[in-house]
Structure 1
Amino acid sequence: MASISSLGIGSGLDLNGLLDQLNEAERGKLEPVERQLESQQVRISAYGDLQGALSAFEGAVGRLAEPSLFQSLSANVTGEALQAAAGPEAAPGQYQLEVEHLASAGSLASQRIDVDLDDALTDAEQTLTLAFANAPEGEQGEIAVTVPAGSTLGDIRDAINAREGAGVSASVVNDGEGYRLALMSNETGEAASITGLTFEGGFFAEGMAVSDPGDEVAGVVAQAGRDAALSVNGIAITSPTNQVEGAIQGVTLDLQQAGRATLSVEQDTLAVREAVGGFVEAYNALKGTIGELTAFDADSGRAGELLGDSAVRTIESRLRNDLSGMVGDPAQGELAVLGDLGISLSLDGTLSLDEGELDLAIASDMGAVQRFFTGGEETLGMAGRLSETAGQLLGSNGALTNAIDGAENRIESLNQRYVRMEQGIAQTIERYRVQFGQLDGMIAQMNQTSDYLTQQFATMDAQLGRD
C-alpha cells in the first residue's frame, strides 16, 4: 500500500477537516473540568478576601484586648509655650508651667580678615584648635583640626565641618567690610559654648580665646550658649536642651517659646473610644465582605462565590455567639453585654454604636470598661474571646484554612484529571489519524484499480470494434 503523507491526497476526501472536527468534539469533554477549575480558583480568591477581612477584625479586637490601652495617659497643654507627651511612667496630674527662655547654642566669629575667598592662607599644614566650656561628648579638652597647606578660608571651614566630633558647624560670613570664620555649637546649653579658636598660621589676631563668651576680644564676636529656664508649679528648672525629660515623671516637655502653659496629664479616653469604634467598623466590614460573597440576585440568577459555604456559616455562627454572650456579672454591677457600652447587634447582623452611651460608660468607670474587654487573670473579656475565636478560625486547623486547603486539593485533583483526559484525547485522535491514513490508502488503491480496469475495458472495446 502506498504511503500517504497528507490525509485526503489519495482519496480526495477532506479527512484533515474531519479529523479537526473529531479533535474539537473530543476536547469539548474538557470544558466541564475547566469550569470546575475556574470555579475553585474563584473560591480561593473569595476565601482570600474573607481571610483579609477576618484578619483586620482580629487586629481590631486584639487592640481592645490589651490592658495597656486602658491605662494610657494623654498630655493636654493649654498655651503655646510648649508641647508635651506622656509616657507609661507618667501619673495623672495638673501642672502650671512657665518658660522663661529657650536653650540656645553658643557661637564665635573670628576677627574680620582682609582677604579674598580664593587667597591661600596656609603655606604648610597647620593645626586649628577649638576650645569649649565643656568638650563635646567623646572628646577630651581642646579639639584639634588639621588644615592642609594652601587652604583658603572656605577650605578651613570645610576642614572643621569634616572633623568628626568637632562639636561645631563652621561657615564663612561677610559682614559688609570683610570675611569672618563663624562657628556655631552643634548642641544647645552653656556647657556646649565654644570659648576659643587658635591657629598656628597667625593670620588671626591674638586673643581669640575668651574667658567669657559674652566678651568681645580683639574683634572677636562671641555669644555664650544658654540653658533653657522654666518652672513647674513654681519650681525652677534648667535644661541644656529644649526637650526636657524628667522634670515631670514620665512626661517629655518640648519647649517652643517663652510664656505660660497649663499641662493636664489624664487618662487617654480618646484612644479607648477610637479602639471601640475601630472594632465596630472592622466587624461591619467583615459582615459586608461576607454579604457580598454569599449574595444571590434573583433577577439575574447570579450567586456569590461562597453562597452556602460551610466555612462562612461557621465563621458567622461563632462570632455571633461571642458577640451575644455575657462576660460580666450584672448582679455585681459589672458591664456584662455589648449593650452596656452602647453597642447593639442590628437585624442585618451588623453592629451599631451609640457614642453617647460609650462616653458615659468610660467616664463612669474606665476600670469596668477595661474588665469587660480584657477580662481578668483567669477569664477572657469580650475582646479576648473574639480574638481567640478569630485566631482559631484563621489558624492552621481553622475552618477558613481547611476550606482553602480543600479547594487547593480539588484543583490539584482536577489538574491531574485534566492531564489524563488530554492524554486520552491525544491517543484517540492519533488512532483516528492512523485509521484515516489506512482508509485514504485503501481508497487510493481502489481508485488505481478502478482506473486500470477502466483502461482495460476500453482497450477490449476498441479491439472488438475493429474485429
Structure 2
Amino acid sequence: MASISALGIGSGMDLNGLLDQLAAAERQKLQPITQQKQAQQAKISAYGRLESALSTFQDAAAKLNKTDTFQGVSSAVAGSSVNAAASSTAPIGSYQVNVIDRAEAYSVATAGVASQTDNLGGGTLSFTLGSGETLAVDIDPAQSSLQNIRDAINTANGGVQASIVNDGSGTPYRLVLSSPETGTDAAISNINFGALGADLALDAATEQQAQNAMLNVNGITITSQSNRVEGAIQGVTLDLQAEGSSTVSITRDNELTQKAVTDFVDKYNNLQSLIGNLTRFGGESGNNGQLLGDSTLRNVQQSMRSIIGEGVDTGNARMLRDVGIDLELDGKLTLDETKFKEMIANNMSDVSTFFAGTSAGGGLSGKIDLSITQLLQSDGPIKNTTKGLQDSIGRLDDRFVRMEESIGKTIDRYRTQFSQLDSMIANMNSTSNYITQQFDMLNAQLGRK
C-alpha cells in the first residue's frame, strides 16, 4: 500500500491538530528559560538606569567642587557708554567709567573708476603697517582689474583689508583699504600704488586715521587698542559703546551657588527614588522591583548614605545640616532655604569649604566623586555584576537552543509515530472493508440477501 503523505488521511483522525497540541505543550519547556532571560535583561536595564542616576548625581556634585561656584558675581551698568561682563575674580564695588574716545580702525578710499572688471595695469602695491613692517602685493597686468587688486590684497592677509564700494557717480567704483583691527598698532601708512597710481589715487577726504580708545576709570586714565577693554577693572570686560559716563556695579551673585546646591539635592533625591523603586517589595501583587534583595545595589545605597551622613572632617561646617540641608528618615535630603540663604549671605567661605574643600578633590563633593568613580569604573561592582548577568543570558541562550533542538527531535518522533499509526489504521480499514465485501458476497451466494 502507498505511504501516507499527510497525517490523518489514512485514519480520518485529526492527527495534525493533535501534533500541534503536543508541540505547544513541549514548547512550554522553553518558557522558564525565556522568563529567566527576561529577568536578567530587566536587571541589566535596571543597572543601566542606576549608572545613569549615579553619573547625573556625580555631575551635580562636581559643580560644587569648583570654587567658582561660590564666587559668583554679577555686573550692572547705569549709563549707555559701556557694557560690562564680570568674572568670579572681579572685586565687589562700584566704578565710574568715562569713555573719552572709542578706538577706530584706519580706512581710506581711492578715487573712482568706471569699471571694476577692466584691467588697470600691473605693478607692486606697498603699505607700511603700524608695526613698522612693509606689505608688498604684486599685481599681474593681465589680472589687474579693481576686483583682482582687491582679491590680491586680501589673499596676502598681511594686515590690510580691501573692498569695493559703488558711490553711484559716473566713475562709481572705489577701492577701500582698511585695517582689520582698531588702534594705532594696526594703522596703515605710506600707501603706494606704484605704476597703478594714476588710476588709484587716494581720496584724502575719505581718510579715517587709526585711533586708540581712551577711558577713565575711577580717575585713572587708560588707553586701549580696541573697544574691548580687559583689566581696567579686575575680572571685568568692558565693551565701549559711546563717549560718555557710566557706573559699573559689581555685586555678589548667590544664585549660582543656590542653583548648584538645589541641583545637588534634587539629583541625590532622584537617585534615592530610583533605588527605592528598584528595591520595591510588591507584596501579594508580586510587583517587585527588578533589584529587590540585590547585594550590589545594597552596597551602592549604603555607600552613598554613609558619605552623605558622615560629612567632612574640617572647617566650621562639618555636616549637611550645618549648611541648611537635612537628611530625612527616608534617606532623602531637604533644603532649608532660609538657613541656606543665610549661610551663603554671611558664611559663603564655610559653605565653599564644606563642599569643595581647600584643594582639588576635597570636601564632600570630592568624597562623592571618588566613591562614584569607583562604583562606575570598568572593574567596579556594577560593571562586574552586569557582566555576570550578560554571561548568564549567554548560558540561557545556549540552553534555549539545546531545548529547541530536543523539542524538534521529540516532535519529529511524534510525527513518525503518528504517520505509522495513520498507515496502520488505513491498512486495518482496508482489510476490514475487504472482509466485509467477502462476507457480503458469501451471503449473496447463500441467498441470505
Assess same fold via TM > 0.5. Answer: yes
Offset at 1:439?
A: 1.4
Taking a change above 3 Å as real, the CA distance of residues 4 and 135 of structure 1, as seen in their structure-2 partners, is farther
Within the alignment, does 1:276 sit opposite 2:274 as a pair?
no
Within the alignment, does 1:36 sit opposite 2:36 as a pair?
yes
Contact 2:57 2:271 in 1 (8 A): yes
3-state SS in 2 of match to 1:11: coil
Match of 2:87 in 1: 86
Contact 2:77 2:246 in 1 (8 A): yes
Contact 2:119 2:141 in 1 (8 A): no
Which sections of structure 2, spanning at least 5 residues, go unmatched?
none
Contact 1:97 1:233 in 2 (8 A): yes
Provide the rounded CA distance (Å) in 1 between the counterparts of 2:111 and 2:284. 91
3-state SS in 1 of match to 2:193: strand
Provide the rounded CA distance (Å) in 1 between the counterparts of 2:208 and 2:140. 25
3-state SS in 1 of match to 2:211: coil
Offset at 1:9?
A: 2.7
- RMSD of the alignment, in Å? 3.4
Match of 1:182 among 163, 176, 179: 176
Provide the rounded CA distance (Å) in 2 between the counterparts of 1:69 and 1:145. 55
3-state SS in 2 of match to 1:181: strand
3-state SS in 2 of match to 1:187: coil
Taking a change above 3 Å as real, the CA distance of residues 178 and 280 of structure 1, as seen in their structure-2 partners, is same
1:346-365 map, 5 Å? 346-365=328-347
Match of 1:416 among 384, 398, 423: 398
Offset at 1:434?
A: 1.2
1:242-253 map, 5 Å? 242-247=227-232, 251-253=236-238
Offset at 1:399?
A: 4.4
3-state SS in 2 of match to 1:143: strand
Contact 2:68 2:88 in 1 (8 A): no
Which sections of structure 1, spanning at least 5 residues, go unmatched?
209-215
1:379-458 map, 5 Å? 381-458=363-440
TM-score by length of structure 1 reads 0.82
Provide the rounded CA distance (Å) in 2 between the counterparts of 1:415 and 1:440. 37
Match of 1:204 in 2: 199
Within the alignment, does 1:11 sit opposite 2:11 as a pair?
yes
Report the more deviating stretch, 20-29 or 169-178.
Answer: 169-178
Taking a change above 3 Å as real, the CA distance of residues 300 and 203 of structure 1, as seen in their structure-2 partners, is farther
Match of 2:209 in 1: 224
Provide the rounded CA distance (Å) in 1 between the counterparts of 2:124 and 2:336. 71
Offset at 1:45?
A: 1.8
**Percent identical residues:** 43
How big is each residue's C-alpha offset from its partner over 1:256-298, in whole Å with a ceiling of 9 and x where there is no partner?
Answer: 3333345566776544333222211211221233344445677
3-state SS in 2 of match to 1:409: helix
TM-score by length of structure 2 reads 0.84
Taking a change above 3 Å as real, the CA distance of residues 161 and 381 of structure 1, as seen in their structure-2 partners, is closer
Provide the rounded CA distance (Å) in 2 between the counterparts of 1:65 and 1:104. 43
Contact 2:162 2:175 in 1 (8 A): no
Taking a change above 3 Å as real, the CA distance of residues 376 and 142 of structure 1, as seen in their structure-2 partners, is closer
Provide the rounded CA distance (Å) in 1 between the counterparts of 2:279 and 2:105. 66
3-state SS in 2 of match to 1:142: strand
3-state SS in 2 of match to 1:59: helix
Contact 1:105 1:188 in 2 (8 A): yes
Provide the rounded CA distance (Å) in 1 between the counterparts of 2:167 and 2:361. 74
Contact 2:96 2:247 in 1 (8 A): yes
Match of 1:213 in 2: none
How big is each residue's C-alpha offset from its partner over 1:141-193, in whole Å with a ceiling of 9 and x where there is no partner?
Answer: 13315256265444443443444335213122315454122223211112323
Offset at 1:92?
A: 6.8
Provide the rounded CA distance (Å) in 2 between the counterparts of 1:28 and 1:85. 71
User: Which AA in structure 2 matches 1:83?
Assistant: A
Within the alignment, does 1:134 sit opposite 2:127 as a pair?
no
Contact 2:137 2:152 in 1 (8 A): no
Between the two proteins, the alignment pairs up a number of residues equal to 444
Match of 2:49 in 1: 49
Provide the rounded CA distance (Å) in 1 between the counterparts of 2:413 and 2:27. 15
